[in-house]
Structure 1
Amino acid sequence: MQLNAANGVTVEVSDSVFGADYNASLVHQVVTAYLAGARAGTKAQKNRAAVSGGGSKPYRQKGTGRARAGTTRSPLWRSGGKIFAAEPRSYQQKVNRKMYRGAVRAILSELSRLGRVHVLDVLELDAPKTKALKAKLDDLGLDEALIVIDEHNDHLSLAARNLPRVDVSTALRVDPVSLIGFEHLVLTKAALERLEARFA
């Protein structure tokens, strides 16, 4: 199939990467798993066995007029242990490579069908200037975009930091969450080739 490049010409792309059917349930599962995998899962509390103290009975069993108590670390007491204490856990969900690649292909294909993929020969800046990058995006008529390049570029990354709806990624690090998080996708030809090689 063909994609329209920013200079008015068409670019031949792989049908398997940019012409796949959109599978909403697969995309949802992969995106959910990706976000879940980013959770730290380090929340922790102490149960009554883990808190310190409470070894001796606080007062005698009878004659005080108070409720009987065997430890000061009961969950009913201040500084006592939690009844159902939270423990560190992993939120990771199983997603195999075939599912991951299929979801990315579905997202790229849907973006291309909606006309939201823009291909440039190159995208370079002489200096890390936000104004210069914004001017290039204005030429494309875009104010929100994920820019995907083939290799890391300090000038582009620094220039995009002050644009709240613009981000820069490489073809080897692009992920499903970033692809669906922006209205438009801007690719260089070198990045396009790497994407096709990665997800074909």
Structure 2
Amino acid sequence: MELKLLNAQGQAASNVAAADTVFGRDYNEALIHQVVVAYAANARSGNRKQKDREEVHHTTKKPWRQKGTGRARAGMSSSPLWRGGGRIFPNSPDENFTHKVNKKMYRAGICSILSQLAREERLVVIEDIAIDAPKTKLLSQKLTAMGLDSVLIVTDTIQENLELASRNLPNVLVVEPRHADPMSLVFYKKVLVTKAALAQIEEMLA
């Protein structure tokens, strides 16, 4: 498969050959959904906690007498029906959100995502992306010149200047190939891969 190759200035130079085993897979929506959901679920910290009616600090005194007031019956102010009362089914930190996905399925899901990105021309290969100083303005100008406003940059090694310059850009993320997760690949509008990183991706997934 051929992918568009840009030079270091972001101008179209030629095409680069890519492995069909990685970038020529069929689109498998069910598998992609499973991989993305599993990644998001496994990233959850699972430490949320809510109180039930036993744990909230309320008096057990009956708010008013049972009959004669014209108001609805009430036994105690910790009732889940009352504001500030305990939850009926509270969230517990013991809850397990883990989703298991086999390595073979995970790799196949990543390949399916990359293949679809290549078909939609959302995946672009660049010779190298480097800036002379750790300035957000320099990186922003470089990406704007290439027409990239929401981009995942995958580079073989993250240079300090590039990492520091990208921190203040909300729609730009710089990662190494081993950290390119399915959520990021799906989220960003474009994926910019350096030529060296492309070889690493093919080595990992082929």
* Normalised TM-score (structure 2): 0.78
1:12 alignment counterpart: 17
Structure 1 residue 153: deviation in Å?
2.0
User: What 5-or-longer segments of structure 1 have no aligned partner?
Assistant: 59-64
Which contiguous aligned blocks of 4+ residues in structure 1 show a shift greater than 6 angstroms? Answer: 48-54, 76-81
Report the Cα distance in structure 2 between the residues aligned to 1:22 and 1:106, rounded to whole angstroms: 6
- Given that 1:73 and 1:81 are in contact with CA atoms closer than 8 Å, whether structure 2 keeps it comes out as no
Report the Cα distance in structure 1 between the residues aligned to 2:145 and 2:85, rounded to whole angstroms: 64
- Given that 1:107 and 1:180 are in contact with CA atoms closer than 8 Å, whether structure 2 keeps it comes out as yes
2:106 alignment counterpart: 100
Structure 1 residue 46: deviation in Å?
4.7
1:29 alignment counterpart: 34
* Normalised TM-score (structure 1): 0.81
What is the CA deviation profile of residues 4-55 of structure 1, one whole-angstrom value per residue up to 9, with x for unaligned ones? 101321111110111100101111111111111122222234557767999x
* Identical-residue share of aligned pairs (%): 45
Which of the residues 187, 190, 197 maps onto 2:193? 187
Against the structure 1 CA distance between its residues 46 and 192, is the aligned structure 2 distance closer, same or farther, given a 3 Å change threshold? same
- Given that 1:147 and 1:169 are in contact with CA atoms closer than 8 Å, whether structure 2 keeps it comes out as yes
Report the Cα distance in structure 2 between the residues aligned to 1:147 and 1:80, rounded to whole angstroms: 48
Counterpart AA for 1:4: K
User: What 5-or-longer segments of structure 2 have no aligned partner?
Assistant: 8-12, 67-75
Q: How does 1:141-160 map to 2 (within 5 A)?
A: 141-160=147-166
1:115 alignment counterpart: 121
Report the Cα distance in structure 2 between the residues aligned to 1:112 and 1:193, rounded to whole angstroms: 15
- Given that 2:56 and 2:78 are in contact with CA atoms closer than 8 Å, whether structure 1 keeps it comes out as no
Report the Cα distance in structure 2 between the residues aligned to 1:35 and 1:85, rounded to whole angstroms: 22
